[in-house]
Amino acid sequence: MDISTIAQDVLELIAAAHGAVSVDLAAAERQIRVQLEQIGRAALQRHLDSHGNLGYQGSSRDCSCGNRQRFMGHRPRELQSMVGPVRLWRAYYHCASCRRGCCPYDLAAGLGAMALSPGLAKMACDLAVDLPFGKASAKLASLTGRRLSASSIERVAKQAGEVARELEEREARKILAHEPVSCAKATAGRLYVSVDGVMGPMRKAWEEIKLAECYWRDASGALHRRYVARTEKIDGFVPHAVATAARCGLEGCRECVLLADGSLWIWDRIAPAIDPDVKILDWYHAKEHLWSAGNIVFGQGTLACKTWVESLKEHLWHGRLDAVTNELAALHKTLRSPGKRQAVAELLTYLSNHRDELAYDRFRAQGLDIGSGLIESACKSVVQLRLKLPGARWKPDHAQQILSLRVCHLNGDWNDFWNSRPLAA
């Protein structure tokens, strides 16, 4: 039977049940979709019923406790699937020693604790990585006709997110144990590592979420990006940043560039761990420090402030750092206000501490990026768009689960992740 014949049968089924299919395109789509879902649900149920020994492995099987589990018969399970509710019967085994039972088919099929098929669970999580759980529930119903509550989507997203989190932590543990990470990408060119922090709304208070982004351009100039976002303190974050860089080919790249703002934890902890070939202080943050000092010394919005800042910017842009520091030192001697003196002294210290990272003339001549705009946008797209919602307050563990799941999606690992049957892990 060919597709045309099957299509005609579908139209006749609709006509017999509801009358002729409407000539209105939108109405016809709805009618045919409903019928196809019913056919799909019946086909899936018949397929499952035709396999009467789902998960059967003989009269007994090994138990994790070292003893044997006995076959106790078949047990039913109701599931919501992508085409509607179905029931399956699968073999159930029980161990008299440890008093634990299991259904091997559930593990093999990737079924978790919730009554969701793997396909529907993946679809729900696909929405939850981008949307609040309530909106994800409404969007799922609108797009597919499948109805899951916001709390159900939250539970399955957190379950999958916990597995994604553990995968990240497994890679970080390899770094701590000096073991090679898995699935390293061979990037023979220039690899950028950019790191930043963004505040997230946790239950007790706003806390910093640390984010690392690795990016590179292939031979055709196409941009590739990979992220990791973690809620823990710097000690826990460092191996995650290194593991992410390693997965992007840190060991095999021609040149590694660390590009970041002036946060001390980046330069004191991340830089030594990654050991980049080049370190660059973000040009825009350097300019912000000039403006901050200028506003205090000369007054915000004044012509004197603008003239002073533009002169120092010109020196920095062309690599004349000594000219900047000499001018600051001379200005400091003329000031009597403690606040103004402190502002200039702090700027002078800031620039002196980052002397090697301020060679913008040399960086530009080498074709290097000097602005961390990509990591700034990543803070918004990876963290803020999902976590920073009106009225949202997250437990750190729950925030990490959603962040890990979102990063898995953004990094392009989504299909491989779900092919590993994470809910059965």
Helix (H, G, I), strand (E, B) or coil at 99: coil
Question: Which residue in 81, 85, 92, 24 sits closest to 54, CA to CA?
Answer: 92
pLDDT category at 188 given cuts 50, 70, 90 is low
At 307 the pLDDT is 96
Structure tokens at 68: 């044997």
At 86 the pLDDT is 96
Structure tokens at 316: 């920095």
84-94 β-sheet, strand order: 60-62, 68-81, 84-94, 101-102
pLDDT category at 185 given cuts 50, 70, 90 is low
Residue 321: DSSP 8-state: H
Q: What is the pLDDT of residues 343-377, one digit of tens each?
A: 999 999 999 999 999 999 999 999 999 998 888 99
Quick check: 187 pLDDT over 70?
A: no
Whether pTM exceeds 0.85: yes
> What backbone phi and psi angles, to 5 degrees, belong to 371?
-115, 140
Helix axis angle for 3-18 and 25-49, nearest 10°, is: 110
Averaged pLDDT, 41-56: 93
HSE, CB side, 13 Å, CA atoms: give it for residue 351.
Answer: 29
At 183 the pLDDT is 65
Quick check: 290 pLDDT over 90?
A: yes
206-217 β-sheet, strand order: 223-230, 206-217, 190-201, 255-260, 278-281
At 2 the pLDDT is 84
Distances (CA, A) of 40 to 82, 119, 325, 372: 9, 14, 73, 50
Instruction: Return the minimum-mean-pLDDT range out of 58-67, 162-171, 173-182, 234-243.
Output: 173-182
Look up tokens 């491989």; give the residue.
Answer: 416
Give yes or no for a contact between 58 and 71, defined as CB atoms under 8 angstroms apart.
yes
Averaged pLDDT, 59-82: 96
Strand duo 60-62 + 68-81: pairing: antiparallel
At 54 the pLDDT is 95
Quick check: 186 pLDDT over 80?
A: no
Give yes or no for a contact between 37 and 30, defined as CB atoms under 8 angstroms apart.
no
Count of CB atoms situated within 10 Å of the CB of 9: 12
Q: Percentage of residues in the chain with pLDDT exceeding 90?
A: 84
Q: What is the pLDDT of residues 391-412, one digit of tens each?
A: 899 999 999 999 999 999 999 9
Q: What is the pLDDT of residues 248-261, one digit of tens each?
A: 999 889 999 999 99
Question: Which residue in 146, 118, 119, 150 sits closest to 33, CA to CA?
Answer: 146
Residue 206: DSSP 8-state: E
What's the alpha-carbon Rg for the chain, to the nearest Å? 29
Quick check: 205 pLDDT over 80?
A: yes
Query: What contacts 14, CB < 8 A, 6 or more positions away?
Result: 21, 31, 32, 35
* Residue type, position 91, single letter: A
Residue 50: DSSP 8-state: T
Mean pLDDT across the chain: 94
Q: What is the pLDDT of residues 97-139, one digit of tens each?
A: 999 999 999 999 999 899 999 999 999 999 999 999 999 999 9
Residue 355: DSSP 8-state: G
Domains of the chain: which residue ranges? Answer: 3-49, 55-109, 190-277+373-406, 283-365
Rounded to an integer, what distance in angstroms lies between the CA atom of residue 403 and that of residue 52? Answer: 40
Give yes or no for a contact between 175 and 242, defined as CB atoms under 8 angstroms apart.
yes
Per the DSSP assignment, residues forming a β-bridge with 211 are 196, 229
Query: What is the four-CA torsion angle of 361, 362, 364, 365, rounded to 10 degrees?
Result: 110
Q: Does domain 190-277+373-406 have CATH number 3.30.420?
A: yes
Quick check: 7 pLDDT over 60?
A: yes
